[in-house]
């Protein structure tokens, strides 16, 4: 069995008087694509923020590469190979596409490798090449999502965390984003995908977790969960 790269243990997180996460445990093994699904307000994004150090834990622990990363910030974690594409994308709107990609490689000093990887991102996302000198803030939501993913990949992560990458995008752009997620995973990057689009997320997942009201309520093989009547009734409208 593959090594566990990321392990969340009995996580509890609250903010503003709300207990958003009430005792979540999950794990992501090397080479896996794991999807975390659930309705809006289930606590998925809060869990991701806790993993990446942007929200403090009240209870529990998070282990990465076998060591606790509790209390470490996003900058420290990127250096260790844990990168996140946040909900809402978070691109640098007043910088060009190329400058955004360069920012993704801030932990690196291999100038040639960085240039090669920018070229690689332009191959994965041809739309970005067409707009490479354009300010990121002038791009569509789908283009910004591509840029946010490209920027995260510039750090050459071991684990890529994606928080709601298809939110607010057109069906054509959703297809493109999921195609890229599959390609990144096929190239050996371990992926934890948080997504409201349950059918798309489970269809590409090795394993899935269902989150409801701050708790994990179900876990299993992605394609098996896709056929589960309870999952279909709750999240696929059937």
Q: What is the pLDDT of residues 96-114, one digit of tens each?
A: 999 999 999 999 999 999 9
Average pLDDT, the chain: 93
pTM of the model: 0.94
The predicted pLDDT at position 196 comes to 86
> Which CATH topology does 30-42+73-235 take?
Rossmann fold (3.40.50)
Q: Is the pLDDT of residue 19 over 70?
A: yes
**Owner of token pair 């243990």:** 9
If pLDDT is split at 50, 70 and 90, which confidence band does 238 have?
Answer: low
Structural domain boundaries in the chain: 30-42+73-235
Q: pLDDT digit string (tens) for 78-89?
A: 999 999 998 877
Strand-by-strand arrangement of the 159-163 sheet: 82-85, 159-163, 190-195, 33-37, 207-212, 215-221
Cα distances (Å, whole numbers) of residue 78 to 126, 151, 173: 25, 12, 27
Q: pLDDT digit string (tens) for 164-191?
A: 999 989 999 999 999 999 999 999 999 9
Q: Where are the alpha helices (DSSP H) in 15-96?
A: 44-51, 74-79
The predicted pLDDT at position 91 comes to 93
């Amino acid at each position: 069995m593959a090594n566990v790269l990321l392990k969340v243990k009995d996580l509890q997180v609250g903010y503003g008087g709300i207990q958003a996460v009430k005792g979540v445990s999950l794990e992501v093994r090397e080479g896996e694509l794991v999807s975390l699904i659930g309705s809006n307000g289930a606590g998925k994004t809060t869990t991701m923020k806790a993993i990446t150090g942007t929200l403090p834990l009240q209870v529990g622990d998070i282990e990465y590469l076998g060591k606790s990363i509790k209390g470490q910030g996003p900058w420290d974690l990127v250096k260790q190979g844990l990168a996140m594409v946040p909900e809402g994308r978070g691109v640098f709107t007043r910088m060009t596409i190329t400058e955004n990609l360069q920012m993704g490689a801030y932990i690196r000093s291999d100038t040639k490798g960085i240039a090669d990887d920018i070229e690689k991102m332009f191959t994965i996302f041809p739309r970005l090449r067409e707009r490479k000198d354009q300010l990121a803030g002038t791009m569509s939501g789908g283009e910004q999502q591509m840029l946010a993913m490209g920027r995260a990949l510039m750090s050459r992560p071991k684990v890529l965390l994606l928080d709601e990458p298809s939110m607010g995008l057109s069906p054509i752009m959703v297809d493109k984003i999921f195609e890229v997620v599959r390609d990144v995973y096929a190239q050996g990057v371990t992926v934890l995908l948080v997504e409201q689009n349950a059918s798309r997320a489970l269809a590409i997942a090795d394993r899935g977790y269902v989150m409801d009201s701050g708790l994990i309520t179900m876990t299993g093989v992605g394609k098996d969960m896709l056929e589960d009547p309870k999952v279909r009734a709750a999240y696929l409208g059937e």
